[in-house]
Amino acid sequence: MKKLAVVAFGGNALLRGDEAGTIEQQEKNAYDTCRKVIGLLKRDYNIIITHGNGPQVGNILLRNEAGYNTYKIPKMPIDICVADSQGGIGYMIERMMRNVLIEEKMRRNVVTLVTQVLVDINDPAFDDPSKPVGAYFLKEEADLLAKANKWVFKEDPRKRGWRRVVASPKPKDILNKKIIRDLAKKGNVVIAVGGGGVPVFRHRDKHLEAIEAVIDKDLASALLASDIGADAYFIVTDVPKAYINFRKPGEKALDRITLKEAKKYYDEGHFTAGSMGPKILAAMNFVENGGVEAIITEASQLEKDNCGTRIVSDKK
CA nearest to 294, candidates 277, 305, 304, 308? 308
CA nearest to 170, candidates 133, 130, 110? 130
Known catalytic residue at 11 = yes
Interior angle at CA 218, CA 84 and CA 64, nearest 5: 25
Q: If residue 293 lies in a helix (H) or strand (E), which one and from where to where?
A: strand 293-298
Q: Choosing from 2, 3, 12, 75, which is the catalytic residue? A: 12
Known catalytic residue at 42 = no
Q: Choosing from 46, 131, 197, 308, which is the catalytic residue? A: 131
Distance from C-alpha of 22 to C-alpha of 191, rounded to nearest angstrom: 22
Measured CA distances, 214 to 10, 45, 193, 196 (Å)? 16, 30, 12, 7
Known catalytic residue at 170 = no
Amino acid letter, 46: N
Measured CA distances, 239 to 34, 41, 114, 280, 301 (Å)? 17, 22, 28, 13, 10
Distance from C-alpha of 296 to C-alpha of 302, rounded to nearest angstrom: 10
Known catalytic residue at 316 = no
Q: Choosing from 279, 285, 291, 308, which is the catalytic residue? A: 279
Q: Choosing from 29, 195, 217, 241, which is the catalytic residue? A: 217
What's the gap between Cα 314 and its chain centre? Answer: 26
Known catalytic residue at 52 = no
Backbone angles phi, psi at 150, to 5 degrees: 60, 40
SS3 62: helix
Distance from C-alpha of 34 to C-alpha of 89, rounded to nearest angstrom: 13
Distance from C-alpha of 134 to C-alpha of 181, rounded to nearest angstrom: 33
Question: What letter would DSSP give residue 126?
Answer: G
Give the residue numbers marked as catalytic. Answer: 11-12, 131, 217, 279
